[in-house]
């Protein structure tokens, strides 16, 4: 049976952690699903890990549609969320709806949109028309130039309040899920306790409803210095499937992220 928003909400109510990984093709979709991953995120991170770009900003709508279709072909149980790429939803709610429809038609069950309160009208517009939305706050990679780099967000009293207020506004506007990236664990815990929708952390501590990592990072396929919030699950595994199963188990038991992986 396909994982649904109802499934995820029940997991939250039962204090069961949600395991999420990015995925970009049918082969990995099958492996991840069979290893117990609840949600597959077709991330615009494909710009980095597949296309070799330094940011996600060059990823196109056609890229996301193609990879969503590939992932959908490899799964029949996991919930599929797809990122809406830069420039495909910011102009107007109508623009966002038109492009989200194409992503849903390709096989996604939910779209993900970056941004705080400025996105509330768009999220309300989509949700009222039957398109589930996952919001994304904290470090938002599509705003990387404005943020001045990949760095911790919400680490002052003022910025933490803004992020908390954004989270409340996004839930009120109809967001069904919230990704929080690179924010202090204490702030992420407060947001999770405040909201009723599932929260998914990446570099946001282990008090979120679930966790997400970029697949390639989880498998140790990163270049340069390893970011603090990443763990290489391939290091102690004999196969990719075993590494994914270890990741799922670590998320479900609350062993990942540990204190060394949070801020």
Find the radius of gyration of the CA atoms of the chain.
Answer: 17
Query: First-to-last CA distance in the chain?
Result: 37
CATH topology of domain 5-261: TIM Barrel (3.20.20)
State pTM to two decimals. Answer: 0.97
Positions annotated as catalytic residues are: 181
Q: Is the CB of residue 183 less than 8 Å from the CB of residue 153?
A: yes
Q: Is the CB of residue 207 less than 8 Å from the CB of residue 185?
A: yes
Cα 184 from Cα 194, distance rounded (Å): 16
Nearest to 134 by CA among 189, 172, 184, 81: 81
Q: Is the CB of residue 79 less than 8 Å from the CB of residue 104?
A: no
pLDDT of residue 223: 76
Mean pLDDT by runs of 10 across the 263 residues of the chain is 96 97 98 98 97 96 98 98 98 98 98 97 98 97 88 95 98 98 98 98 98 97 87 96 98 97 94
Enumerate the β-bridge partners of residue 251. none
């Amino acid at each position: 049976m396909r994982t649904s928003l109802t499934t995820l909400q029940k997991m939250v109510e039962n204090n069961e952690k949600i395991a999420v990984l990015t995925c970009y093709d049918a082969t990995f979709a099958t492996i991840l699903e069979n290893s117990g991953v609840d949600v597959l995120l077709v991330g615009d991170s494909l710009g980095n890990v597949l296309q070799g770009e330094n940011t996600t900003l060059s990823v196109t709508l056609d890229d996301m549609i193609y990879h969503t279709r590939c992932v959908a072909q490899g799964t029949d149980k996991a919930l599929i969320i797809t990122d809406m790429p830069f420039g495909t939803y910011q102009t107007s709610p109508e623009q966002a709806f038109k492009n989200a429809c194409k992503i849903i038609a390709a096989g996604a069950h939910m779209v993900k949109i970056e941004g705080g309160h400025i996105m509330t009208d768009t999220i309300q517009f989509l949700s009222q028309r039957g398109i589930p939305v996952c919001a994304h706050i904290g470090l938002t990679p599509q705003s990387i130039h404005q943020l001045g780099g990949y760095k911790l967000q919400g680490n002052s009293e003022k910025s933490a309040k803004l992020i908390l207020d954004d989270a409340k506004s996004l839930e009120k506007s109809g967001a069904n899920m919230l990704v929080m990236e690179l924010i202090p664990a204490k702030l992420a815990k407060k947001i999770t306790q405040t909201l009723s929708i599932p929260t998914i952390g990446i570099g946001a501590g282990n008090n979120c409803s679930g966790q997400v990592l970029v697949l390639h990072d989880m498998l140790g396929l990163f270049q340069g210095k390893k970011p603090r919030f990443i763990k290489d699950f391939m290091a102690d595994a004999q196969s990719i499937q075993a590494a994914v199963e270890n990741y799922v188990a670590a998320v479900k038991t609350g062993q990942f992220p540990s204190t060394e992986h949070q801020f």
